[in-house]
């Protein structure tokens, strides 16, 4: 008996030889709940009508082999553990079945009762472990979903008092009603802006992982011009150079694509040298039927080489000189994963950085590793 339940282990044995079915029932019906079938079709009927933990099948049967039967069972009923029983040395088929995951193990005929009993009990332990793991994954997914909803709701709620604080600060500055020789109001305003920016990033991340994929025609000239117009407000001294070669239609998730490009271009502006004489950001887009290749390059502060492998991690900041949040590139990586894109980065500290994106033209191709 198993240690997890008072119920017996439910076993299905499929074999075209009636004597084997009778022998199996005689040996194990007191230990397990035994179901038998004399063909693959009968075996499928049993699986349709009963919750079975372990399925055992003879390899050589007239209408189909045991491996062929398990190929069907694996798709229709993936939970039961599958074992092959054979009196033949069909090594190639058995190895292939094990490698492809169609069977857990095989037992030679004529079977040894003790060996087969232990094999069934071990298979059941695997069944229970997988079942528990599936339940844990389901619980974690539910918890993660609830946590995401909580963070999103809280972030929205926090923006309201922040907006009130900003309104009061602006009113105080307009009326010149507060004596502030030490610049405390400016410090408060800076902190509020940083917090509001962080909250907006959280909301952006939530939307990126929650919003359903929706593919539509993308006009890179239009999308990038709008992003540049907004980002240039951060630093009006930066010269933007945009080159777009798009001679064919491009289908993509426009929402996530705009999130990706907005974060990368915003970073290119944010991480400029404070004393740069001629700061610039270059954006080059090449589109064909299969993909879009986008390069975003700047002559900013750059990233030290040992940090290049960490820039896409949440809350990682490559420089302490800029008030970044360390979440933008993480959002980029997550959004790219959703649309099947890839990103690489090349940077020389003190000279600048270039990000290259490769995004599939949906639904034509999925980019290779």
Three-state SS string over the chain comes to CCCCCCCCCEEEEECCCHHHHHHHHHHHCCCCEEEEECCHHHHHHHHHHCCCCEEEEECCCCCCCHHHHHHHHHHHCCCCEEEEEECCCCHHHHHHHHHCCCCCEEEECCCCHHHHHHHHHHHHHHHHHHHHHHHHHHHHHHHHHHHHHHHHHHHHHHHHHHHHHHHHHHHHHHHCCCCCCCCHHHHHHHHHHHHHHHHHHHHHHHHHHHCCCCEEECCHHHHHHHHHHHHCCCCCCCEEEEEEEECCCCEEEHHHHHHHHHHHHHHHHHCCCCCCCCCEEEEEEEECCCEEEEEEEECCCCCCHHHCCCCCCCCCCCCCCCCCCCCHHHHHHHHHHHHCCEEEEEEECCCEEEEEEEEECCCCCCCCC
More confidently predicted of 290 and 324: 290
In the chain, the domains with their CATH numbers are: 10-111 (3.40.50.2300), 137-209 (1.10.287.130), 213-360 (3.30.565.10)
Q: What is the pLDDT of residue 196?
A: 75
Which residue in this structure is represented by tokens 């240690």? 3
How far is it, in rounded angstroms, from Cα 272 to Cα 280? 9
Q: What is the pLDDT of residue 312?
A: 85
Per-residue pLDDT tens over the stretch 316-369: 666 555 555 567 888 899 889 889 999 999 999 989 999 999 999 985 555 554
Q: What is the pLDDT of residue 369?
A: 46
Cβ-contact 292, 220 below 8 angstroms: yes
How far is it, in rounded angstroms, from Cα 117 to Cα 145? 42
Cβ-contact 339, 256 below 8 angstroms: yes
The separation between CA 198 and the C-alpha centre of its own chain, rounded to angstroms, equals 23
Per-residue pLDDT tens over the stretch 208-260: 666 677 888 999 999 999 999 988 888 888 999 999 999 999 999 888 898 89
pLDDT at residue 116 above 50? yes
Q: What is the pLDDT of residue 321?
A: 55
Q: What does the pLDDT average to over 121-126?
A: 94
Q: Find, among 207, 149, 155, the residue nearest to 335 by Cα.
A: 207
In total, the chain counts a number of residues equal to 369
In this prediction, what percent of the chain has a pLDDT beyond 70? 87
pLDDT at residue 78 above 60? yes
Q: What is the pLDDT of residue 1?
A: 41
81-86: strand order across its sheet? 33-37, 10-14, 54-58, 81-86, 105-108
Q: Which of the four pLDDT bands, split at 50, 70 and 90, describes residue 3?
A: very low
Q: Dihedrals φ, ψ of 236, to 5°?
A: -75, -10
> pTM to 2 decimals?
0.54
Q: Which of the four pLDDT bands, split at 50, 70 and 90, describes residue 21?
A: very high
pLDDT at residue 2 above 70? no
The separation between CA 352 and the C-alpha centre of its own chain, rounded to angstroms, equals 31
């Amino acid at each position: 008996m198993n240690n997890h339940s008072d119920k017996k282990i439910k076993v299905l044995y499929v074999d075209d030889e009636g004597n084997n079915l009778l022998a199996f029932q005689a040996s194990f019906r007191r230990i397990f709940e035994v179901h038998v079938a004399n063909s693959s079709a009968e075996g499928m009927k049993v699986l349709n009508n009963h919750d079975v933990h372990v399925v055992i099948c003879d390899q050589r049967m007239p209408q189909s082999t045991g491996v062929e039967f398990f190929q069907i069972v694996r798709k229709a009923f993936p939970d039961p553990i599958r074992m092959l029983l054979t009196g033949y040395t069909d090594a190639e088929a058995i190895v292939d079945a094990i490698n492809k995951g169609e069977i857990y193990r095989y037992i030679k005929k004529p079977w040894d009762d003790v060996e087969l009993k232990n094999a069934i009990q071990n298979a059941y332990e695997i069944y229970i472990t997988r079942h528990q793991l599936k339940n844990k994954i389901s619980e974690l997914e539910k918890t993660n979903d609830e946590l995401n909803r909580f963070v999103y709701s809280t972030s929205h709620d926090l923006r309201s008092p922040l907006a009130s604080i900003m309104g009061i600060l602006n009113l105080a500055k307009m009326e010149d009603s507060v004596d502030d020789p030490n610049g405390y109001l400016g410090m408060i305003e800076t902190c509020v802006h940083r917090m509001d920016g962080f909250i907006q990033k959280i909301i952006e991340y939530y939307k990126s992982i929650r919003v359903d994929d929706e593919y539509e025609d993308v006009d890179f000239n239009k999308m990038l011009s709008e992003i540049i117009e907004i980002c240039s407000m951060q630093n009006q001294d930066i010269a933007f150079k945009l080159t777009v070669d798009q001679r064919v239609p491009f289908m993509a998730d426009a929402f996530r694509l705009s999130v990706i490009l907005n974060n990368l271009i915003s970073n290119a502006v944010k991480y400029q040298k404070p004393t740069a004489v001629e700061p610039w950001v270059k954006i080059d887009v090449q589109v064909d039927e299969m993909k879009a290749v986008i390069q975003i390059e700047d002559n900013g502060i750059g990233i030290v080489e040992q940090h290049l492998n960490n820039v896409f991690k949440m809350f990682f900041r490559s420089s302490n000189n800029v008030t970044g949040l360390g979440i933008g590139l993480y959002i980029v990586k997550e959004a790219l994963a959703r649309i099947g894109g890839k990103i690489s980065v090349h940077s020389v500290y003190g000279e600048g950085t270039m990000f290259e994106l490769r995004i599939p033209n949906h639904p034509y191709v999925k980019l290779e590793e």
